[in-house]
Structure 1
Amino acid sequence: MSEALLQVQHLKKYFAIPGSIFSRNIGKVKAVDDVSFDVHKGEVLGIVGESGCGKSTTGKALLRLIEPTAGQIFFNGEDITRLSEVEMRKIRRDMQIIFQDPYASLNPRHKIEKILSEPLLVHGIGTKESRRRKVSEILEVVGLSGDHAKRYPHQFSGGQRQRIGIARALIVKPKLIICDEPVSALDVSIQSQILNLMEDLQEEFGLTYVFIAHDLSVVHHISDRIGVMYLGRMVELAENEALYKNPYHPYTKSLLSAVPNPDPDIKQERIILQGDVPSPAEPPSGCAFHTRCPECMDICKSARPDFQQVTEDHFVACHLYGDGFG
């Protein structure tokens, strides 16, 4: 395995719950609660989970688009949580993001040429003429025409807008791209085109992705390793095939049981979870999943399981896998 480009250690992000006009905050929403993982150069790390599990908040915290409450984030060996805003702006040339909604992430008042040249302008890259050339070149790279630079966002389809979003992230030649559900707002037929494009670009430019999604089929297609989040915590992390063929955590098993199998001869048992996802403002004691877990034990209700390695490159936070496992 190559060296780690990104190291996340005990990342937390809490949002205050305001009271009335005259009262103080009345609580905290623990959107991300003690998450740790590494991302290696050239790999795609997928992060999956239900809506509200904290995966998108994690992605934005990695770039400090929202400030972490606690924890450390090392990029190329440097702790970026200690950097000033000016220093962080320089680092962001190497760390970019593709947003979920291609309709909301592009300024409708600006032409594509201005939208794509803005990152170059912010980082002081090139002259006006060279920036115009780069915009035309990057549009060609993502499968559009250089002439499209003269158009406005509303003149493009959803898939084309997402290609523009990818071009905007790519134009400064970053090392790491956070992909925040980049295909979830697109039609299924367009999703495959965008995923194939992202795979081609990764190989061509030597990119590293953190790919955030709730669709397990999409993550399976593109990821090298996959992390599963539940209620702000990472509950399992493993190589792609290892996770799909032999999941450890009961939550991961339930998610995978819901993925349709294209082979009609294969019968798979659907694991139906009971109850609703607890509120991140009042997470359960012990293991956050114990209120819905079909394999819950007494210890799960009182003690929070450690996120530990149980086999080679397979990590899980579950009391079913104690010191004597394996």
Structure 2
Amino acid sequence: MGEPLLTVENLKKHFPIESGIFGRAAGHIKAVDGVSFTVHEGETLGLVGESGCGKSTTGRMILRLIEPTDGRIVFAGKEMTKLPKRELREIRKDIQMIFQDPFASLNPRHTVERIIEEPMIVHKLGGKKERKRRVKELLEVVGLDSYHAKRYPHQFSGGQRQRIGIARALAVNPKLIIADEPVSALDVSVQSQVLNLLSDLQEQFSLTFLFIAHDLSVVHHFSDRVGVMYLGQIVELAASDQLYDDPKHPYTQALLSAVPVPDPDSEKEKMILSGDVPSPADPPKGCVFHNRCPMAMDKCKAVKPKLAAIDDGRLAACHLYH
């Protein structure tokens, strides 16, 4: 592989907890606490974890919809964390987002044509006629008829609305698409259609994806590599098949053991975790997973493990392997 298209280094987002009439910070919620990864051109990196682990916040920080507390984001050789607003606006043309809720992310007062055309207007791409033609092309690319352009979002099903969101993301020919739980709000039968569409579009337009989800089977189907997040940190990062066939980190093992198996006679052993997920306002010292880990050692309670290579390019943050 060549140079990565996207590099994230030690990315952090700490939200202040305000208290008192003067709104002084009484502490911080560590939503993302030192995340690092790379995404190469043409690949799909999946980010997976329980709700509240910081995966969506990570995606929004890459676009700087949320400003990072610390860390570096380098996209196509440019450090986004230091870019002024004018340059940031230009680079956003190359990074687009597909949002989780296909209804809330579309303006109900605008027609589908206006919704898809808007990114082209913002980035001053093409004349009026050219943009209208492009909208019709994109609708057909995502599996909708061009006559739908004059309709409004409420006139479509959830799956159709998500296709409109995908068409809008493609409108400015991006290099990277951040897909934030793009199928979690859809019926299971529609999920596979949208995932197959995204796979076809990736091949057709040489797209790169950061695919954020909590459903492990969906991530396995769509991703080349997978990063597993827990309490604002990546605990394991590996090739998709490698991770699913032989998970190393105890948290990854527990997540995969909970995935339903479509075989009533299967005697798959489930790994039940004790306790609750700690608060990101007061994460445990040492390894953030030690208070729920069945394999925890004394070292885990005192020393934070680094995300480091263990075999064949796999990374894990666990004292069992270092």
TM-score using structure 1 length: 0.97
- 2:84 matched to which residue of 1? 84
What are the within-5 Å matches in structure 2 for residues 253-292 of structure 1? 253-292=253-292
Q: Take 1:106 and 1:278, find their aligned partners in 2: how far apart are those partners?
A: 35
Residue 11 of structure 1: how far off its partner (Å):
0.4
Q: Take 1:220 and 1:241, find their aligned partners in 2: how far apart are those partners?
A: 7
Residue 2 of structure 1: how far off its partner (Å):
4.2
- 1:123 matched to which residue of 2? 123
- Answering whether residue 306 of structure 2 is matched by residue 306 of structure 1, we say yes
Q: Take 2:149 and 2:21, find their aligned partners in 1: how far apart are those partners?
A: 47
Q: Take 1:309 and 1:73, find their aligned partners in 2: how far apart are those partners?
A: 22
Q: Take 1:253 and 1:189, find their aligned partners in 2: how far apart are those partners?
A: 27
Deviates more, 1:296-305 or 1:260-269: 260-269
Residue 106 of structure 1: how far off its partner (Å):
0.2
Residue 318 of structure 1: how far off its partner (Å):
0.5
Q: Take 2:121 and 2:16, find their aligned partners in 1: how far apart are those partners?
A: 36
* Number of corresponding residues: 322
- 1:20 matched to which residue of 2? 20
Residue 260 of structure 1: how far off its partner (Å):
1.7
Q: Take 2:68 and 2:131, find their aligned partners in 1: how far apart are those partners?
A: 34
SS of residue matched to 2:93: coil
- 1:53 matched to which residue of 2? 53
- Answering whether residue 173 of structure 2 is matched by residue 173 of structure 1, we say yes
Residue 20 of structure 1: how far off its partner (Å):
2.2
Deviations 1:183-242 (CA, angstroms, capped at 9, x unpaired): 000000000000000000000000000000000000010000000000000000000111
Q: Take 1:290 and 1:81, find their aligned partners in 2: how far apart are those partners?
A: 32
SS of residue matched to 1:101: coil
Q: Take 2:222 and 2:2, find their aligned partners in 1: how far apart are those partners?
A: 18
Q: Take 1:313 and 1:195, find their aligned partners in 2: how far apart are those partners?
A: 27
Structure 1 residue ranges (4+ consecutive) displaced by more than 3 angstroms after TM superposition: 263-266
| Aligned AA (1:117) | E
Q: Take 2:43 and 2:20, find their aligned partners in 1: how far apart are those partners?
A: 46
| Structure 2 unpaired stretches of 5+ | none
Residue 23 of structure 1: how far off its partner (Å):
4.3
SS of residue matched to 1:25: strand
SS of residue matched to 1:58: helix
- 1:141 matched to which residue of 2? 141
Deviates more, 1:226-235 or 1:3-12: 3-12
Q: Take 1:3 and 1:310, find their aligned partners in 2: how far apart are those partners?
A: 22
Q: Take 1:164 and 1:27, find their aligned partners in 2: how far apart are those partners?
A: 41
Residue 21 of structure 1: how far off its partner (Å):
2.1
What are the within-5 Å matches in structure 2 for residues 1-326 of structure 1? 1-322=1-322
| Aligned AA (2:63) | L
The structure-2 alpha-carbon separation of the partners of 1:151 and 1:23, relative to structure 1 and needing over 3 Å to count, comes to: closer
Residue 261 of structure 1: how far off its partner (Å):
2.1
After superposition, the CA RMSD in angstroms is: 0.9
| Aligned AA (1:83) | L
SS of residue matched to 1:92: helix
Deviations 1:84-134 (CA, angstroms, capped at 9, x unpaired): 111101001100000000010000011111111110000000011111111
| Aligned AA (1:53) | C
Deviations 1:46-65 (CA, angstroms, capped at 9, x unpaired): 00000000000000011111
Q: Take 1:208 and 1:283, find their aligned partners in 2: how far apart are those partners?
A: 33
TM-score using structure 2 length: 0.98
Deviates more, 1:265-274 or 1:238-247: 265-274
SS of residue matched to 1:280: coil
Q: Take 1:62 and 1:153, find their aligned partners in 2: how far apart are those partners?
A: 27
Residue 266 of structure 1: how far off its partner (Å):
3.8
Q: Take 2:189 and 2:225, find their aligned partners in 1: how far apart are those partners?
A: 25
